[in-house]
Amino acid sequence: MRSVFAGMGRRALRRGVPLLGLAAGLLAGCAKAPDKNVIVAAGHVEATDVHIGAKVGGRLLQFTLQEGDAVKLGQTLAEIDTTDNRLAARQAHADRDQAAADLDLRLAGSRPEDIAEAASQVASAAADLDGAQKELDRMQALLDRGSGTAKSRDDARTRRDMAAARLSGTRDALARARHGSRPQEIAQARAHLAAMDAHAATLEQQIKDATVISPLTGVVTEKVAQQGELLQTGSPLCVITDLANAWLTVYVAETDLGRIRLGQPADVMTDEGQHRSGHITYISSEAEFTPKNVQTRDERVKLVFKVKVGLDNRDGLFKPGMPSTARFEAKAPAGAPQSSAAPAGAPATSAAPAGAPATSTAPAGAPATSTAPAGAPATSTAPAGAPATSTAPAGAPDKSAAPAGGAS
């Protein structure tokens, strides 16, 4: 009985060997080879960070934004105290008005009354000169007759000269009054007025800059200052990130650089399996070593090219630092062999190792059988030295062959 059972076990094992080979062939055929026409690159999402600062100094009166708040272009972010700037602006406007009045005065010239006064002074000086000249003539006549002294004559001459000089001065003053201001004086007055205008405009602009306006639409990712702080010019307030225009930075090997183009579409997938469309916006022209955030040293020493993939992030799915994977459809290199796919529905087969028995694939649901040569009886081969046994048909009585000369 043990011999019969042993023989049956060997036959079952021999029948199972072709089935195991068939199963291995099916699994090998179903294994999907990597697509050489697809470039896969992993990286991290980046976005533009805009650092918002105070253009003017002062106390931060209002700043209620918190991290994570969404802001829009032109939205008021903060208010800074402008008391000092307003007082300085008032003084600047007063100085400007004074400069404008001085320019108007120079452009208007002398009043008629001023010109008439200058003319009267000329006439008075002329009269004085005439009197002094007559006095000098009298003193000179007395001296010639011996009745006068040289000192009296010299004093009269001095008075005559002083009257002549005063007459010349009054005539010049009358000419100036009639001609008005010189062109250079008018230009100087205009320049002074322009300087006062610029100073007043600077203070007015500082008052406007005290209201901090958002320069973009985004999300507040960092809040630096707090309400009530005393700020200096240029002090940081917050950081706004432009999430709508985020991009994915990946690195492509040199062998794949010629298979991608600017503007080429890409499929970007997050680690959670969500897909978004994108396109290549930047390809570096210089090779670099793989960044240090790559885990293995073997990958870090490779020369790669940086590629930026613009993302459609209107729904805010991608965040800065988020790992994602990009897939680019690329053409196979010229001259590369094209693999042919098996027809639909054809069975996947695997080549048997050299020396292995040839097996045939039975249809689905059919019993596994071994094919014997035409006309040959169906027999099973037992190992050398094992007793020959035969399998009884279904329903036949169980009989075992006894060894020669022995009883079961």
What pLDDT is attached to residue 339? 46
Distance (Å, rounded) from C-alpha 164 to C-alpha 166?
Answer: 5
Instruction: Please tell me the predicted confidence (pLDDT) of residue 109.
Output: 83
Low-confidence ranges of the chain (pLDDT < 70): 1-35, 290-301, 331-408
Structure tokens at 85: 């700037």
DSSP structure string for 172-225: HHHHHHHH-S-HHHHHHHHHHHHHHHHHHHHHHHHHHHTEEE-SS-EEEEEE--
pLDDT at 70: 93
Helices 150-179, 112-145: crossing angle, 10 deg rounding:
160
Rounded CA separation 158/152 (Å) = 10
Closest by CA position to 272, among listed 323, 342, 228: 323
Residues, the chain: 408
DSSP bridge partners of 307: 250, 283
Q: What is the pLDDT of residue 298?
A: 53
CB 78 within 8 A of CB 224: no
User: Pick from 312, 255, 304: which is nearest to 283 by CA?
Assistant: 304
Return d(Cα 242, Cα 50) in angstroms, integer: 8
Here the tokens at position 95 are 């100085």
- Say if CB 382 and CB 6 are below 8 A apart: no
Residue 260 per-residue DSSP state: -
For residue 293, what pLDDT is reported?
54
Q: Which two tokens stand for residue 127?
A: 């009269």
Q: What confidence score (pLDDT) does residue 292 get? A: 56
Phi-psi region of 163 (alpha: psi -120 to 50; beta: other; left: phi over 0): alpha
Rounded CA separation 11/14 (Å): 5
246-294, pLDDT tens digit by residue? 999 999 988 888 889 999 999 999 998 999 999 999 999 888 876 655 5
C-beta of residue 336 within 8 angstroms of C-beta of residue 321: no
75 token code pair: 């939205």
* 152 Cβ contact partners less than 8 Å away, ≥ 6 residues apart: 139, 142, 143
The torsion defined by the Cα of 75, 81, 83 and 84, in degrees rounded to 10, comes to: -110
Query: Residues near 82 by Cβ (< 8 Å), separated by ≥ 6?
Result: 56, 58, 206, 207, 210
* Residues 6 or more apart whose Cβ sits within 8 Å of residue 292: 300
Sheet of strand 211-213, all strands in order from the earlier edge strand to the far edge: 211-213, 76-80, 58-62, 230-231
